[in-house]
């Protein structure tokens, strides 16, 4: 094939998306007979969930059944064994919470004047079903890798969905794809119902309604300050990880209604006396980040996963994953849609025990994790190095350039340790976790006793909470293989001193269980 006939990255993106949608939604081999009756599912968190026949028809597609193979909380179950729930259960929970939010708001208004019309409710439930269908292997940790792929970069440059997460863009595009549209058209004909697919896609990506009376309250059911997604994942992740959470959702629902802002936007609001449940949600989110999502062993396992994907991108002939005879190219974002947790680990079964990829997969599978060589925190850094600490923490954001910068620091640490050629870059990681986002407080409006609308952030000190989290809860790490822990520890101290002027006390090594912790402060 001539070079000038190769597809552009953007063309490859849409082609790859269509191929995935065709196989997982459009392939008639997997289409079951349309169910006649609703289905009742018993969820351990929310109890009885009723699914309409059309929802069951969609859930029976491989597009949704694959979500059973994607853990909601990446590799957290290797540290918190009960936390093994999947995106499939979460999807059902989001449908349930969306309906509860809709019902709570509609109860505030006359029966003949509901804020959410029946046709809108149906499309909102459709959006709830599709909101996570664009996730890949181990959920969010693969997202950080495929967002840097050329085809995803080309798509993001079109600014079609400029402010949403990559998996949300995938979910919306899958919903809008021709194979899915055709299947939904069959459902509409079978059950004599209609959907607004464009609106549902916009709700998934959080696109505001600039027409139709600026009905932001519709979007906010799926993508908003206290949307169905947040309400389910915070409860579900806390429940299965064993972190106690007490949220008074009944009080939240009881005060929820639609009001108009000064910008003439119709938004969901809470009464000032009922803000406490939202405070509970934000506080629970802090606990989940500090205790569960950013546990050092969880972070070590996630870096080992990223190490394998890095190798698959750089050396696809030796390190690749197969799905039904298809070798995945992990330099293409759309190929990640074919990769699930089961596909990831199953690759070890196709390889000899001495195969490099087999060993690396089993290191994760059987908890042979990387170890900490250094703990980076407000406590372990010398108090006189505040500016350097701030500069380093700027690298705790996502993005290809920041990812590259952290990998370059890891290479410097290897060089400083005198281990170049002895330890690979893929085995040494500078891990600087992102802070939890509390944007909900700036986007939630509260009705005061004076009849005005104010933001939640004006009523309690959420920005102070952010500062406290960064000061007392945030931890960064340097990870490496056990046998190089001491050398990497000492080299990391030198590199952070030379690059950022950071000096560490002995707790940086003691908390990482380094045999002979050093101090530079």
Rounded to the nearest angstrom, the gap between the alpha carbon of residue 14 and the centroid of all alpha carbons in its chain is 22
Q: Of 290, 513, 300, whose CA–CA distance to 427 is shortest?
A: 300
* Pairing between β-strand 445-447 and β-strand 453-455 as defined by DSSP bridges: antiparallel
Whether 97 and 228 have beta carbons less than 8 Å apart is answered as yes
Helices (H), 192-254: 197-205, 216-222, 228-241, 249-254
**Do residues 243 and 417 lie in contact, with contact meaning Cβ atoms separated by under 8 Å?**
no
Instruction: For residue 447, list its beta bridge partners.
Output: 271, 453
pLDDT tens for the chain, 521 residues: list them.
445 578 899 999 999 999 999 999 999 999 999 999 999 999 999 999 999 999 999 999 999 999 999 999 999 999 999 999 999 999 999 999 999 999 999 999 999 899 999 999 999 999 999 999 999 999 999 998 999 999 999 999 997 887 889 999 999 999 999 999 999 999 999 999 999 999 999 999 998 777 776 899 999 999 988 899 999 999 999 999 998 777 788 888 888 999 998 888 899 999 888 888 888 888 888 899 999 999 999 999 999 999 999 999 998 888 889 998 889 999 999 999 999 999 999 999 889 999 999 999 999 999 999 999 999 999 999 999 999 999 999 999 988 889 999 999 999 999 999 999 999 999 999 999 999 887 777 778 999 888 889 888 888 777 888 888 989 999 999 999 999 999 999 999 999 999 999 999 999 999 999 999 999 98
Going by C-alpha positions, the residue among 312, 318, 321 that lies closest to residue 340 is 321
pLDDT for the residue numbered 1: 42
DSSP state of 162: T
Q: How far apart are CA 390 and CA 383, in angstroms?
A: 12
Report the greatest alpha carbon distance in the chain. 75
Name the one residue in this structure whose structure tokens are 């309400």.
Answer: 231
Token digits of residue 276: 């406490």
CATH fold label, 12-212: Hypothetical protein af1432 (1.10.3210)
Q: What pLDDT is recorded for position 4?
A: 59
DSSP notation for 97-150? HHHHHHHHHHTTS-TTS-SS-HHHHHHHHHHHHHTTTT--TTTHHHHHHHTTSH
CA 11 to each of CA 152, 171, 334, 373: distance values in angstroms, whole numbers, following the listed order: 11, 18, 11, 44
User: Rounded CA gap, 336 and 340, in Å?
Assistant: 8
Joined together, the tokens standing for residue 130 give 């599709």
Structure tokens at 226: 């206290």
Q: At what angle do helices 197-205 and 118-130 cross, to 10 degrees?
A: 50
How far apart CA 209 and CA 327 sit, in angstroms, is 41
Q: Which two tokens stand for residue 337?
A: 């849609």
Q: Which run of H or E residues covers position 282?
A: helix 276-287
State pTM to two decimals. Answer: 0.95
- From residue 431, give the alpha-carbon distance in Å to each of 19, 80, 306, 395, 460: 35, 20, 12, 9, 31
Q: Tell me how far apart the alpha carbons of residues 258 and 101 are, in angstroms, rounded to a whole number.
A: 12
Residue intervals in the chain for CATH 1.10.3210.10: 12-212
Position 2 scores a pLDDT of 46
**Total Cβ atoms within 10 A of residue 352:** 9
């Amino acid at each position: 094939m001539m070079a000038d006939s190769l597809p552009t990255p953007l063309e490859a993106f849409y082609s790859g998306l269509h191929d995935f949608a065709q196989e997982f939604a459009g392939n008639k081999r997997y289409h079951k007979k349309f169910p006649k009756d609703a289905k009742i599912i018993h969820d351990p968190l929310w109890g009885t969930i009723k699914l309409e026949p059309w929802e069951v028809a969609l859930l029976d597609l491989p597009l949704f059944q694959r979500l059973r193979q994607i853990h909601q909380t990446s590799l957290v179950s290797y540290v918190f064994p009960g936390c093994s729930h999947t995106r499939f259960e979460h999807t059902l929970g989001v449908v349930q919470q969306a309906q509860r939010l809709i019902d709570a708001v509609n109860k505030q208004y006359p029966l003949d004047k509901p804020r959410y019309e029946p046709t809108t409710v149906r499309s909102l439930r459709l959006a709830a079903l599709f909101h996570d269908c664009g996730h890949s292997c181990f959920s969010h940790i693969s997202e950080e890798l495929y967002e840097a792929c050329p085809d995803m970069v080309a798509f993001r440059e079109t600014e079609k969905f400029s402010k949403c997460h990559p998996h949300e863009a995938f979910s919306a595009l899958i919903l809008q794809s021709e194979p899915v549209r055709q299947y939904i058209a069959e459902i509409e004909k079978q059950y004599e119902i209609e959907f607004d697919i464009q609106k549902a896609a916009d709700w998934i990506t959080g696109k505001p309604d600039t027409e139709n009376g600026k009905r932001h309250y519709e979007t906010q059911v799926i993508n908003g300050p206290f949307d169905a997604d947040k309400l389910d994942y915070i409860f579900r992740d806390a429940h299965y990880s064993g972190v106690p959470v007490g949220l008074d959702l009944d009080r939240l629902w009881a005060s929820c209604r639609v009001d108009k802002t000064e910008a003439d936007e119709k938004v969901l609001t809470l009464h000032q006396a009922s803000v406490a449940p939202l405070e509970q949600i934000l506080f629970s989110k802090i606990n989940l980040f500090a205790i569960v999502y950013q546990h050092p062993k969880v972070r070590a396992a996630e870096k080992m996963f990223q190490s394998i994907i890095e190798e698959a991108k750089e050396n696809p002939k030796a390190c690749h994953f197969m799905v039904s005879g298809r070798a995945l190219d992990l330099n293409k974002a759309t190929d990640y849609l074919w990769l699930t947790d089961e596909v990831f680990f199953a690759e070890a079964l196709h390889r000899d025990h001495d195969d490099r990829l087999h060993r690396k997969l089993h290191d994760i599978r059987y908890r042979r994790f990387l170890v900490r060589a250094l703990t980076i925190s407000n406590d372990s850094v010398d108090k006189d190095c505040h500016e350097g600490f701030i500069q380093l923490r700027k690298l705790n954001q996502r993005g290809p350039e920041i990812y590259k910068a952290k990998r370059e620091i890891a290479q410097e640490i290897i060089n400083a340790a005198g281990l170049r050629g002895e330890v690979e870059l893929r085995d040494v990681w500078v891990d600087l976790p992102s802070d939890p986002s509390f944007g909900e407080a700036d986007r939630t409006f509260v009705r005061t006793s004076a009849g005005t609308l104010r933001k939640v952030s004006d009523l309690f000190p959420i920005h102070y909470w952010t500062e406290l989290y960064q000061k007392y809860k945030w931890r960064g790490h340097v990870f490496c293989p056990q046998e190089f822990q001491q050398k990497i520890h000492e080299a990391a101290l030198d590199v952070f001193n030379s690059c950022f002027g950071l000096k560490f006390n002995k707790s940086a090594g003691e908390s990482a269980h380094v045999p002979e912790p050093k101090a530079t402060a």
